[in-house]
Structure 1
Amino acid sequence: MTSFAELGIDQDIVDALAAKGIVDTFPIQEQTIPLSLPGQDVIGQAKTGTGKTFGFGIPVVQRLGLDPEPGVKALIVVPTRELAVQVYEDMDLLTSGRSTNVVAIYGGKAYEGQIEQLKAGAQIVVGTPGRLIDLAGQRLLDLSHATEVVLDEADKMLDLGFLPDIEKIFQRVPAKRHTQLFSATMPGPIIALARRFMVNPIHIRATDPDEGLTQANIRHIVYRAHALDKVEIVARILQAEGRGKTVIFTRTKRAAQKLVDELNDRGFNAAAVHGDMGQEQRERSMASFKTGKKDVLIATDVAARGIDVDDVTHVINHTIPEDEKAYLHRVGRTGRAGRTGIAVTFVDWDDLHKWALINRALDFGQPEPTETYSSSPHLYTDLDIPAGTKGRLTKAPATGAIRTAKADGEGASRPRRRRRAEGDAPREGAAHEAGEGRGTHDGAGREHHDGKPAPARRRRRRRASGQPQQGA
């Protein structure tokens, strides 16, 4: 295993990494950094969670020098907001011993702060395509001197339809530049993109994304589960022995929010990240998960690429991914940095065909998921769940306690009273003085709301029309 110091990396960068306990390289870093440092265009391919960010980030920072001139000299394009935040944090670490400044440019946040950092002379920009093109179109982002360009998670760019935006961005950067492209998979359109915008790139594939560490580090469990029983199963899995941080993936934003509400009601410490949340909310959820304040994160696929947490022990696919690539990206949240992990996938009856395709593509050898319920004995043995575990933590408030609290006035709305009792103070702004308009009841249904009998004319008209009196 090679250390960063052995790759000819500047000492301040080595020290910054060592301060975070990062000393030895991953294969993708060991193979790409020596090529990128002198300016060779590189295509880096490796599974998610094997250190691609430092693989391209270290050459970018070192090639800019210790004290680069103000202005954008490096551009790193990423597909999602969450990934922009994660890459920004890694780049900020690498530049901690230099005057180089990094700015994250992405949607969902106010323009002012990002524009202010650009005007202050930030040299490295990490951004998503939409906001980058927006600011460049307003002439607030000058990319004409960005001689270091990186496309990160290029396959996700393709999935999200960003390739036309990438072409627009490349039209704004210098023709003579150093370009790096990193991705977990290399579909045809990405290879075509590389041929068009890169100069004699060297393709480095550290490991096949469908093999190797994905299979060795992660234990895959697949259950055929009923939709109405999934929450109960999840709640019991979350009480498994040794369970640490857990990421749960849902197909829709609504399902993510519903699940986080249900788990929190059951006493678990869960947060969500999905498209219906504001960017500030999403960042708070991610921060609370990374720091351990929340140990369960429910997310949709778009947010998956930004979940860069090494100590995730379990990934649960609440709904099956669309294909094998999405499956790999989801389960890649666990088993990172050489650790082991567990991936549990629920397959609905209607989605058995999807699992058959994923199983065949990844060669799992499990064409038929095991039919599983929250009471199934094999659920407990498969995942080391203590016997007798139920789907609600004891610390969760009981239903009776909630009712009691509401009865005491905590968050409960009082029933509307039809009449005020004898002696009650009059309503504020009432036309009558205190003591008047309290209402009386003579037992014959002749009460009126202001204490006076109903107008006789109204009663006479009812009798004349032959309609019976109320209560008759």
Structure 2
Amino acid sequence: MKHSETQQIKFKDLPLHEKLHKALDFIKFTHCTPIQAESLPLMLTGKDVAGQAQTGTGKTAAYLLTILQHLLEHPGHDDPGKAPLRALIISPTRELAIQIYNDACLLNKYTDFRIGLVYGGVDYDKQRKMLQDGVDILIGTPGRLIDYYKQKIFSLAKLQIVVLDEADRMFDLGFIRDVRYMFRRMPKPEERQSMLFSATLSWRVTELAYEHMNNPVLIRINPDQITAKNITQIGYHVSSDEKISLLIGLLRRIDPKRTIVFVNTKRTAEQIWGYLEGNGYHSAILSSDVPQQKRQKLFQDFSSGNLPILVATDLASRGLHIPDISHVFNYDMPQNPEDYVHRIGRTARAGASGDAVSLICEEYVYSLHEIEEFIGEKIPTERVEPDMLVLLSDPVAMRDKRPVPRWKNKSKQGGFRQKSSRTGKR
């Protein structure tokens, strides 16, 4: 099916239950995205699908609608406590699992299916009790799912549908053995429907699909669809010593509404946070060692606008669904081209426009060519003008009082040790 044709498909033209059409009308979903248009007609007939799709492309709604339609067509046991688990969605991260759950609740608005959510770090006994009471659809991360499964809190024996979301991320995070463990305890591939979605259909992902799925249809997004057309990309070649000065200079020029600054290490995140706070920009760090409850509070503050800037490692670049992110900064260029796509995909969601700004220094410039090959286009670059490199106030130290390292500024426009008479906007 050609891309130009798939764009014309409307949800009302799909053979969905009236309750699902009502839910789609409520959330104002009218036209299918390309991945929805190509996958839904197949999945609604029970076919297995392995799709290449980024977050923000509508893949979640595609497989949730398929699950809900199947459950509506095949009523379950009347007694919730005796009803076996019927659909399982496996997510690599807690953040993505939570967002899938929220989307599922929206589409389940006019049906009464019991949807469960399990992930590590919080509510162990509460989640266990929920599973014991029975659920139709279970969404969870591999570790917590296997924990409850081994305790025989739920069974996979009668599973009808399974979804593996962000399969490539399962490999990256070392969860693939856990995923295979669960697949081997489900009904045979021909006795269930399986759906897999991944940023790329690499060799290892397609091997997993063919091993644990029933002759899946592979759906690939064309190269010109890898990055959204409504994202404006721009790069600045800058020395490592001048990156923080340029970052804050750009923030002062742009005054973005809601921003994520991506870095490659937690140490750099702490350094950036210190300079942002010291120069009038309220921000917070999102990395792998942030406790789950604090992480959720950060998301709430960021989504509500109380927190304008997140400084994040690549943990946050996958699965986040926060509306109205106006700018993404690659303070460090990612070392993996797929991470570049995931990072900039945090902006320009749901038809909005956004900007992706990359600071290309000598340390990470080596990944630029590979990124451009992967996305099928050159990242436009602009000259760093002298007035972009601003004078900086001293950084704020972390609460544990560790010393904040200072970069040596070789720019004639002002060293980092000088105080600025200007302050950034919060």
**Hey, what's the Cα distance between the residues in 1 that align with 2:247 and 2:239?**
12
| Alignment partner of 1:127 is 2:140 | yes
Deviation at 1:371, TM superposition (A): 6.2
Partner of 1:183: 198
Deviation at 1:336, TM superposition (A): 2.1
Q: Which of 128, 135, 138 pairs up with 1:115?
A: 128
Deviation at 1:229, TM superposition (A): 3.4
| Alignment partner of 1:142 is 2:149 | no
Partner of 2:342: 329
Q: Which of 202, 209, 219 pairs up with 2:217?
A: 202
1:360-379 aligned at under 5 Å gives the runs: 360-365=373-378, 372=384, 375-376=387-388
Partner of 2:64: 57
| Alignment: residue pair count | 382
1:10-409 aligned at under 5 Å gives the runs: 10-65=17-72, 68-69=76-77, 70=80, 71-175=84-188, 176-205=191-220, 207-208=221-222, 210-212=223-225, 214=227, 216-241=229-254, 243-365=256-378, 372=384, 375-376=387-388, 392-393=423-424
Partner of 1:403: none
**Hey, what's the Cα distance between the residues in 2 that align with 1:43 and 1:157?**
15
Query: Does structure 1 conserve the Cα–Cα contact (< 8 Å) formed by 2:252 and 2:425?
Result: no
Question: Residue 296 of structure 2: SS of its match in structure 1?
Answer: helix
| TM-aligned CA distance change 1:258 to 1:68, over 3 Å | farther
Partner of 2:411: none
Q: TM-score, normalised by structure 2?
A: 0.82
**Hey, what's the Cα distance between the residues in 2 that align with 1:30 and 1:63?**
18
Partner of 2:412: none
Query: Does structure 1 conserve the Cα–Cα contact (< 8 Å) formed by 2:283 and 2:309?
Result: yes
Q: Which amino acid aligns with 2:161?
A: E
Deviation at 1:238, TM superposition (A): 2.9
Query: Does structure 2 conserve the Cα–Cα contact (< 8 Å) formed by 1:249 and 1:330?
Result: yes
Runs ≥4 in structure 1, deviation > 4 angstroms? Answer: none
Q: Deviations over 1:343-398 (max 9, x none)?
A: 1111221222222332344344469x656377349xxxxxxxxxxx9873267xxx
Larger RCO of the pair (alpha carbons < 8 Å, separation 6+) = 2
| TM-aligned CA distance change 1:202 to 1:260, over 3 Å | same
Q: Which amino acid aligns with 1:252?
A: T
Question: Residue 288 of structure 1: SS of its match in structure 2?
Answer: helix
Query: Does structure 2 conserve the Cα–Cα contact (< 8 Å) formed by 1:225 and 1:371?
Result: no
Query: Does structure 2 conserve the Cα–Cα contact (< 8 Å) formed by 1:271 and 1:289?
Result: no
**Hey, what's the Cα distance between the residues in 1 that align with 2:301 and 2:205?**
35
Query: Does structure 1 conserve the Cα–Cα contact (< 8 Å) formed by 2:93 and 2:141?
Result: yes
Q: TM-score, normalised by structure 1?
A: 0.75
**Hey, what's the Cα distance between the residues in 2 that align with 1:355 and 1:139?**
48
**Hey, what's the Cα distance between the residues in 2 that align with 1:391 and 1:50?**
40
| TM-aligned CA distance change 1:97 to 1:350, over 3 Å | same
Q: Which has the larger radius of gyration?
A: 1
Structure 1: gaps (5+ residues): 378-388, 396-472
**Hey, what's the Cα distance between the residues in 1 that align with 2:281 and 2:18?**
44
**Hey, what's the Cα distance between the residues in 2 that align with 1:132 and 1:113?**
14
| TM-aligned CA distance change 1:313 to 1:201, over 3 Å | same
Query: Does structure 2 conserve the Cα–Cα contact (< 8 Å) formed by 1:81 and 1:106?
Result: yes
Structure 2: gaps (5+ residues): 1-7, 390-419
